[in-house]
Amino acid sequence: MSEPIHSPTDALLQVQDLKTYFFTFDGVARAVDDVSFHLEKGEVLGVVGESGCGKSVTAQTIMRLIPQPPGKIVSGRILFDGRDLVRLSMEQMRGVRGNRIAMIFQEPMTSLNPVYTIGNQISEMFRLHMGLSRRESLNRAVGMLRKVQIPAPEKRVGEFPHQLSGGMRQRAMIAMALSCDPEILIADEPTTALDVTVQAQILDLMLQLQADFNTAIMMITHDLGVIAEIARRVVVMYAGRIVEEAETGPLFEDPKHPYTQGLLRSIPKLGSRGAGERIRLEEIRGMVPGLLNLPQGCRFSPRCPHVMGICREKDPPLKRIGQGRTARCWLYFDEPGKD
């Protein structure tokens, strides 16, 4: 794609034609393949997709956390504050990571260091990025724990990760991520490992903090429910590609891409059965393709109920189909096959 479909001038982060491949013994895995999107100041962008769709690799690419080799950013740009993150040295990147773009992960137990106290790990942020003293940093760490509503923060600050519950650990992770007041918070499945009542607490907290700090959040999840709750705009990914982009309301009301349509129809919705008989769930046939042997043409074509001849031959480009809406599907072309 030569020209991005929309390149708003006030975009905080702009990802353009990004390709991150993994060069393995079995072949090249095109984990992120020509992905473009942007993140505006203070917004919550949802990135949704199933395992292997490239959503986490996209996040890791932005943070420059791709293990190299086997991974490699093959092409593309990640524009942030006038700079292309792809071209920064690891030294320069350390000034951005944690400080201006922070990330939280799915499993707070494995992403916190088990041999350091919570306070030690949070105050490290203040020492490294702001050059504060040990004592001042620890005071600030207590303040952050209070902000994420951890009870008795003065006591918790001296505890180790294993002494906290799953929900508490995720709160501590969020405290750490937000401690340098970053402009962007990338959250990769932050509530997937948590119980629903704790998930509700964490989502609630994230939205509160987002309003207080005006942090832009990139929320990566497989859960369409979580997306509907917190995202303003949504990017849907499938097999390394963005297949649809829309504002949250229109996406759920009128999904355009057959994959999005299938996903929304296949999940049982709470409270929708009533007392009556169940209606058979619609299925998406087949399975998610492996990245090493992607189907020819549109990557969704083997599973698509609307598949046409052209779909198996040529991959459609993203097409603008309305205000802030795009879809990667030949159904929306007047002459399918001609882009």
Residue 153 in contact with other proteins, rule: CB under 8 A: no
Q: Quick count: other Cβ atoms within 10 Å of Cβ 8?
A: 11
Residue 274 in contact with other proteins, rule: CB under 8 A: yes
Residue 203 in contact with other proteins, rule: CB under 8 A: yes
Residue 199 in contact with other proteins, rule: CB under 8 A: yes
Whole-number Å distance between alpha carbons of 38 and 50: 21
> Taking the alpha carbons of 292, 327, 237, 20 in that order, is the dihedral positive or negative?
positive
| x/- track of binding to other proteins for residues 42-81 (CB under 8 A) | --------xx------------------------------
Residue 248 in contact with other proteins, rule: CB under 8 A: yes
Whole-number Å distance between alpha carbons of 252 and 254: 6
Question: Could you tell me which residues are beta bridge partners of residue 320?
Answer: 326
Whole-number Å distance between alpha carbons of 113 and 120: 10
Residue 27 in contact with other proteins, rule: CB under 8 A: no
> Considering only residues 1, 152, 267, 292, which one is a binding residue for other proteins as defined by CB under 8 A?
267
Question: Could you tell me which residues are beta bridge partners of residue 21?
Answer: 72
Single out the segment in contact with other proteins by CB under 8 A; choices: 71-79, 82-90, 277-285, 304-312.
277-285
Q: Quick count: other Cβ atoms within 10 Å of Cβ 54?
A: 25
Cβ atoms 122, 144 nearer than 8 A: yes
Residue 282 in contact with other proteins, rule: CB under 8 A: yes
> Taking the alpha carbons of 299, 301, 305, 307 in that order, is the dihedral positive or negative?
positive
Least spacing, CB of residue 77 vs other proteins, in Å: 31
Single out the segment in contact with other proteins by CB under 8 A; choices: 72-80, 98-106, 197-205, 310-318.
197-205
Single out the segment in contact with other proteins by CB under 8 A; choices: 27-35, 138-146, 265-273, 317-325.
265-273
Whole-number Å distance between alpha carbons of 164 and 167: 8
Whole-number Å distance between alpha carbons of 307 and 301: 6
Check residue 143 and give left, alpha or beta (phi > 0: left; psi -120 to 50: alpha).
alpha
> Considering only residues 249, 317, 322, 337, which one is a binding residue for other proteins as defined by CB under 8 A?
249
Cβ atoms 155, 173 nearer than 8 A: no
| x/- track of binding to other proteins for residues 283-322 (CB under 8 A) | xxx-xx--------------x-------------------
Single out the segment in contact with other proteins by CB under 8 A; choices: 92-100, 108-116, 154-162, 267-275.
267-275
Question: Containing H/E element for 261?
Answer: helix 258-266
Single out the segment in contact with other proteins by CB under 8 A; choices: 36-44, 206-214, 216-224, 313-321.
216-224
Cβ atoms 164, 118 nearer than 8 A: yes
Residue 2 in contact with other proteins, rule: CB under 8 A: no
| C-alpha 318 chain-centroid distance | 19
Residue 324 in contact with other proteins, rule: CB under 8 A: no
Residue 197 in contact with other proteins, rule: CB under 8 A: yes
Residue 14 in contact with other proteins, rule: CB under 8 A: no
Tell me the site size for other proteins, rule CB under 8 A.
49
Least spacing, CB of residue 222 vs other proteins, in Å: 6
DSSP state of 86: G
Sort strands 83-84 and 71-80 into parallel, antiparallel or unpaired: antiparallel
Residue 227 in contact with other proteins, rule: CB under 8 A: yes
Give contact residues for other proteins (rule: CB under 8 A).
Answer: 50-51, 165-168, 195-201, 203-204, 222-229, 248-249, 252-253, 262-264, 266-271, 273-275, 278, 280-285, 287-288, 303
